[in-house]
């Protein structure tokens, strides 16, 4: 079992370093490329949402990775007073989505499809979004 | 690590990890094409929702001119991402 945390500045250029962190902590699961990619996609989506939508702070975003015998959990922690609850989003109507020629907004839908658990919490000016994937 | 290469006048290859940090590079590269465009994804190991959005945007751009976007050589992860977002109904797959 591991529990590691690192801090990243609010910039898309941090993504390679975030992925490096994931790969390093999850080296026991290195052969499971599908699992790694699903976690990377979910972490990237949450991180970029925090970067794009929270302009009220310059503070780093914390990423904590916890590995357990049968699961992996990753928490992204940001400083904000008026959070956007990603659980409070409607299901995508794909017929309308294609008809209206939209091309964004698929990330949260993908997280819900790919992860086994998704928790949103806001307390004392901090937002934590925690994703969990079961490995067995 | 990410690279985008021209294979021919109507085919390009995406290589490596296509995350949000590559969005501008890929947009500038793909938007030069006004043909039915084939994307070879054999060496694409990862794509994020931002990457998908750029492909969908270009699908609509080329489709409005009467062209298509053809995808080939998708790995399991990339196939799943297209399936979960129903984008497998939008693009043409050359399997």
Domain ranges of chain B: 2-94
Q: What angle do CA B17, A89, A7 make, to 5 degrees?
A: 45
Contacts of A50 in chain B (CB under 8 A): none
Put simply, whether A110 touches B (Cβ < 8 Å) is yes
Residue A28 Cα, gap to closest chain B Cα (Å): 19
- Across the range B38-56, mean pLDDT stands at 96
> What's the pTM value of the predicted model, to 2 decimals?
0.92
Percentage of chain B lying above the pLDDT 70 cut? 100
Contacts of A101 in chain B (CB under 8 A): 60
Does residue B52 come out as left (phi exceeding 0), alpha (psi in the -120 to 50 range) or beta? alpha
The pLDDT of residue A53 is above 80: yes
Is the CATH number of domain B2-94 3.30.750.24? yes
Residue A12 Cα, gap to closest chain B Cα (Å): 5
Put simply, whether A34 touches B (Cβ < 8 Å) is yes
Average model confidence (pLDDT) for chain B? 95
Put simply, whether B90 touches A (Cβ < 8 Å) is yes
The pLDDT of residue B95 is above 80: no
Nearest CA in chain B to A108: B49
Distance (Å, whole) CA A101 – CA A103: 7
pLDDT digits (tens, 9 = 90+) for A72-119: 999 999 999 888 888 888 899 999 999 999 988 899 999 999 999 999
Query: Between residues B17 and A29, which one has the greater pLDDT?
Result: B17
The pLDDT of residue A41 is above 90: yes
Contact A110 B49 (CB under 8 A): yes
The pLDDT of residue B39 is above 80: yes
The pLDDT of residue A132 is above 80: yes
The pLDDT of residue A136 is above 80: no
3-state helix, strand, coil in chain B (%, to 5): 40, 30, 30
């Amino acid at each position: 079992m591991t529990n590691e945390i690192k801090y990243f500045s609010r910039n898309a250029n941090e993504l390679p370093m975030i992925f490096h962190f994931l790969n390093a902590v999850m080296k026991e699961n290195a052969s499971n490329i599908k699992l790694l990619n699903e976690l990377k996609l979910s972490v990237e989506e949450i991180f970029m949402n925090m970067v794009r939508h929270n302009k009220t702070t310059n503070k780093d975003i914390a990423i904590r990775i916890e590995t357990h015998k049968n699961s992996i959990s990753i928490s992204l922690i940001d400083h904000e007073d008026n959070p956007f609850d990603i659980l409070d989003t409607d299901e995508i109507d794909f017929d309308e989505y294609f008809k209206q020629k939209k091309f964004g907004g698929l990330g949260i839908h993908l997280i819900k499809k790919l992860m086994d658990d998704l928790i949103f919490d806001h307390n004392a000016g901090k937002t934590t979004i925690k994703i969990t994937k079961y490995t067995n | 690590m990410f690279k985008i290469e021209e294979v021919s006048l109507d085919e390009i290859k995406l290589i490596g990890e296509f995350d949000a940090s590559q969005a501008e590079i890929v947009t500038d590269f793909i938007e030069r094409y006004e043909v039915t465009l084939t994307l070879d994804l054999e060496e694409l190991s990862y794509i994020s929702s931002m990457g998908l959005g750029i492909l969908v945007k270009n699908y609509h751009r080329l489709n409005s001119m009467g062209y298509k976007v053809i995808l080939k050589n998708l790995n399991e992860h990339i196939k799943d991402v297209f399936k979960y977002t129903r984008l497998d109904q939008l693009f043409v797959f050359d399997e």
